Amino acid sequence: MSTKKVSCGSRNYALESPREFDRLEKQSSFQGYSFDEDLADLPDLAESEHVASVLDAGCGSGQGTQILSRLYPTHQVTGCDRSEIRVEQARRKYAQDRIEFRVSNLLNDPPADYLTHQGIFSRFVLQHIEQCLQLDFIQGLYNRLTPGGWMRVVDCDGLLINLSPFPPDLMSATQKLTSQIGVDFMAGRKIPSLFRSVGLTQITCKVVPLVFFGAKMNQEIELMKERFQLTLPRMIEVLGSLQNAQDYQDRYLEGMASPGSIVVYNKFIVTGIK
Ligand SMILES: C[S@@+](CC[C@H](N)C(=O)[O-])C[C@H]1O[C@@H](n2cnc3c(N)ncnc32)[C@H](O)[C@@H]1O
């Protein structure tokens, strides 16, 4: 491991739990979070005599991997995730001839373990990579890509922060959470420059606002409750006690539910060619 990685630290996935599979499946079924527009208009891939494959990097439940296999019906599709539980759950639900699920930590796998792919898709993973390792993460994906291959990374900006009106009594705890919880709440906007830094070309960036207001807010409240439940242990560590963490969650959800409140995230869908 390099010195840089040691000083940067190694962070666990903030939402790790066997229940995360169900949360991801539910989230993808909700408006704004479905794979439809995230996987729309991907470049065509030529058939190849060599190992021709598409990678879903940080595949979670495996739903995106399965959709990719439908979009590329003559290609092998690999879904990889650092979580053994998630990979096991994905295999149980989405196993098929052309799909392989494998456990792989995209940051730490040695180059000898690299397989090259003609297309690489990664959704909602960058936000879980420490900022000081995000360039390494994107470089690692780039290294797995064959020349001429495409890469698409999708991530959001504004989670937790973009609630308005924001409860004033939660400001300082929110600052602590955003700096220590282990999620980069501004990951989306960083993708285009990271793509450029590793040498990807023909970069396109589509930004889709996810707006939760009025009746639509109920959907986001439901998802936020689940995120809060799964991150409770980390929130206790950051905020100092169970009571503090529970008070924060209750007040935040109250803020979301109050009439006139609005939540807006920006989803960045960024594509580049090697
Ligand atoms: C929020 S989930 C997104 C799952 C899926 N891509 C989706 O859009 O529903 C993030 C996933 O990234 C995985 N992950 C985080 N860091 C990773 C890493 N360094 N290598 C591989 N997978 C990672 C987590 O285990 C988790 O399953």
Structural domains in the chain, CATH included, are 16-273 (3.40.50.150)
Dump pLDDT digits (tens) for 242-270: 999 999 999 999 999 999 999 999 999 99
pLDDT of 54: 95
Spatial contact of 60 and 81, defined as CB atoms under 8 Å apart: yes
Identify the residue whose tokens are 């707006």: 211
Distance 237 CA to ligand 1 centre (A): 22
Task: Record the tokens describing residue 192, joined without a space.
Answer: 């285009």
CA dihedral 258, 161, 83, 138 (to 10 degrees): 150
Pocket of ligand 1 (CB under 6 A): 13, 24, 28, 58-60, 64, 81-83, 86, 105-107, 123-125, 128
Mutation test residue for ligand 1: of 89, 114, 121, 125, the one with most atoms within 8 Å of CB: 125
Q: In 3D, which of 154, 153, 152, 149 has the Cα closest to residue 274?
A: 149
- 0.85 exceeded by pTM: yes
- Rounded CA-CA distance 125/59 in Å is 9
- Rounded CA-CA distance 63/11 in Å is 25
What is the position in ligand 1's atom list of the atom closest to the CA of 38?
A: 8
Distance 76 CA to ligand 1 centre (A): 20
pLDDT of 136: 96
Distance 242 CA to ligand 1 centre (A): 27
Q: What are the strands, taking DSSP E only, across the chain?
A: 53-57, 76-81, 99-103, 117-123, 145-157, 163-164, 201-213, 262-273
Distance 259 CA to ligand 1 centre (A): 34
Task: Record the tokens describing residue 101, joined without a space.
Answer: 């699920």
> Any residues with CB less than 8 A from the CB of 156 and at least 6 apart, and which?
124, 127, 187, 188, 210, 265, 266, 267, 268
Q: 233 to each of 180, 238, 239, how far by Cα in Å?
A: 13, 9, 10
Task: List, for the chain, all residue ranges whose pLDDT scores fall below the cut of 70.
Answer: 1-7, 9-10, 14, 47-52, 110-114
Strand partners, 213: 262
Identify the residue whose tokens are 């969650």: 249
Task: Record the tokens describing residue 190, joined without a space.
Answer: 């960083």
3-state helix, strand, coil in the chain (%, to 5): 45, 25, 30
Spatial contact of 76 and 100, defined as CB atoms under 8 Å apart: yes
pLDDT of 9: 59
Distance 167 CA to ligand 1 centre (A): 30
Cis peptide before 167 (omega within 30 of 0): no
State phi, psi for 261 to the nearest 5 degrees: -70, 150
Mutation test residue for ligand 1: of 8, 13, 66, 227, the one with most atoms within 8 Å of CB: 13
Which residue's CA is minimally distant from atom 12 of ligand 1? 58
- Rounded CA-CA distance 47/170 in Å is 53
Distance 165 CA to ligand 1 centre (A): 31
